[in-house]
Amino acid sequence: MDLVTGGTGIVGAHVLDALLAQGRSVRALVRPGSDRSIVRRILAHYHPDGAERFARIQWWEGDLFDGDALEAAMQGVEHVYHCAAFVSFDPRDRAELFRTNIEGTAGVVNAALQAGVRRLCHVSSTATIGRARTGASTEQDLFVQDKHSSPYAISKFDAELEVYRGIAEGLDAVLVNPCVVLGPGVRGRSSMTMIERLVRGSRFYPAGTNAVVDARDVATAMTRLVREGATGERYLLIGEGVSYQRLFALIATSAGKPAPARRLPVWTLEVAWRAEALRTLFGGRPMITRHTARTASRQRLYDGSKAAALLGMSFRGAEEAVRNTVAFLAGQ
């Protein structure tokens, strides 16, 4: 039996799919009242027998802050895949980011120790990877907190520290650091927000670069690293480094829209996030924040060869990941 937290998110749903394909018994921790239908739709997107696969999932209601419920959910569990997280770059969400990502991870670690699970696989982020002095960043480039660090990055780094604390107390765990994960998921959440906006059409793209990875590859890597990865090691999961110009063009053209043709100057983004901060001062969610504006203008390059070499995997490129996600949206 394997337990997945955050099973209705992009990564969690794809981990459930991968485990079901391997014939594993799976249990998904969900908050009471959570809409589980997204998992059924994702399974149907990939498999003619998606409904039958969905019926094999054991749903367990609870949250990350109830230690007794967490420990009960882990009884008889061999592996825990901790995919639950809160993603936001709105500075007003700092408290919730810290509560969910740090305190929630601490709760999962404590419950795993008490339940005696064989191994934990923790989903972190490239946000906790430091910038290399030259070339691409690797797992060895440590996060350095400064005034420019987003609350999200800080929360994910401190969540990693909770996992390492658990390892010091006897937990066997491995960590993965995926870049921007592309794949079918809930509308308006994570990378789906960006894809939905571009599917509707846009004329602009930012000047930066980043990396993307297909959610199917993240899930495959996780289900293998939980057995093959070294205790306490971090593994970057990188599909393809890509400019935002190319990524936005791939998304737009996959949806039959013209590719954005106008680059946004850095100063425009600086004005935009300030204007959004004022617009949403008394309510609403900003379309762009200080952290997303500055990230969109940066050049980021990651080296995912550590995981690829260990697993012998060939990760899908940006085009295939985009095509899969846009096809899911079109079928909804």
Average pLDDT of the chain is 93
pLDDT at position 332: 66
Which is the CATH superfamily of the domain at 2-258+289-330? Answer: NAD(P)-binding Rossmann-like Domain (3.40.50.720)
pLDDT at position 191: 87
Instruction: Return the closest-CA partner of residue 72 out of 23, 111, 107.
Output: 111
Reported as a single tens digit per residue, the pLDDT across 124-180 is 999 999 999 888 999 999 898 888 889 999 999 999 999 999 999 999 999 999 999
The pTM assigned to this predicted structure is 0.95
φ/ψ (deg, to 5) at 69: -65, -40
Reported as a single tens digit per residue, the pLDDT across 233-260 is 999 999 999 999 999 999 999 999 999 9
Reported as a single tens digit per residue, the pLDDT across 173-229 is 999 999 999 999 988 888 888 899 888 888 998 999 999 999 999 999 999 999 999
pLDDT at position 273: 79
pLDDT at position 73: 95
Place of tokens 């890509």: 242
Cβ-proximal residues to 115 (8 Å cutoff; 6+ apart), any chain: 71, 74, 75, 77
CA 152 to chain centre: 12
